Amino acid sequence: MYKIGLTGGIASGKSTVSEWLAQKGAPVIDADVVAREVVALGTPGLSELVAYFGDSILQGDGTLDRPKLGAIIFNDEAKRKMLNDILHRYIHERIDELAMMHYEQGFGAVIYDIPLLIETNWYKEMDEVWLVALEPEVQKARLMARNGLSEEEAQARISSQMSLADKKTYSQVIIDNNGTLEELMDQLIQLWQTKGDLFAKEDS
């Protein structure tokens, strides 16, 4: 099965792209969804987080207080590394399971929507990397609007990730999302024309 890693910085438009691809019939694995599963109530992932960060990262009902943990790790590199060390193993395992399900269903290719695909070296497992690219100023504005963050908070999140210029050197396909949604869709239609057949099921 052909593996396509879809990546890009925070608020770059990966979900917008992967939802479009999913509507076209491509199987998509969303690492942000998996990252929520592995810290659900009662999981070993959540227990390990509490053991390191303390139970002040929990809400009253025992579930993870995500904004609170975000405020900690996006401003502290050592703690972010620890979070990654704890969770990426669980995330990777679950992603492999989901990929196996798609493989068993006969799909020719699968999209791995992974924000930290390059930072974690997971790109090495991919056959190709698609990057959703946009200038940091546009990114910051979209992130502030979507998450209701201050400029400083948005900048801290952007700075916690690899720069766009570096990510480009690992990518075979660049999807430019500086423009309107319509301009994005035009590129996706073109991309589907050249790559869409990869996803076809073997028995179809």
Ligand X SMILES: Nc1ncnc2c1ncn2[C@@H]1O[C@H](COP(=O)(O)OP(=O)(O)OP(=O)(O)O)[C@@H](O)[C@H]1O
For residues 107 to 146, the per-residue mask of contacts with ligand X, x marking binding by CB under 6 A and - elsewhere, is --------x--------------------------x---x
Please select the residue that binds ligand COD; options are 2, 24, 32, 185, rule is CB under 6 A: 32
DSSP per-residue codes, 34-50: HHHHTTSTT-HHHHHHH
107: three-class secondary structure by DSSP: strand
Helix and strand element counts for the chain (H, E):
9, 5
13 marked as binding residue: yes
Beta pairing class for 109-113 and 128-133? unpaired
Applying CB under 6 A, among 4, 6, 10, 110 the residue interacting with ligand COD is: 10
Q: What, of ligand X, ligand COD, none, does residue 13 touch, CB below 5 to 8 Å by kind? A: ligand X
**Residues sharing a CB contact under 8 Å with residue 81, sequence separation 6 or more, in sequence order:** none
> Which residue in 103, 74, 92, 116 sits closest to 38, CA to CA?
92
Q: Which of residues 142-201 bind ligand X (CB under 6 A)?
A: 142, 146, 177, 180-181, 184
Question: With respect to ligand COD, which residue has the nearer C-beta, 144 or 198?
Answer: 144
Q: Which is nearer to ligand X, 166 or 197 (CB)?
A: 166
Scanning 110-118, 148-156, 177-185, 192-200 for contacts with ligand COD by CB under 6 A, the matching segment is 110-118
Angle at the Cα of 149 (from 143 to 151), degrees rounded to 5?
Answer: 80
- Binding-site positions: 11-16
- Binding-site positions for ATP: 11-16
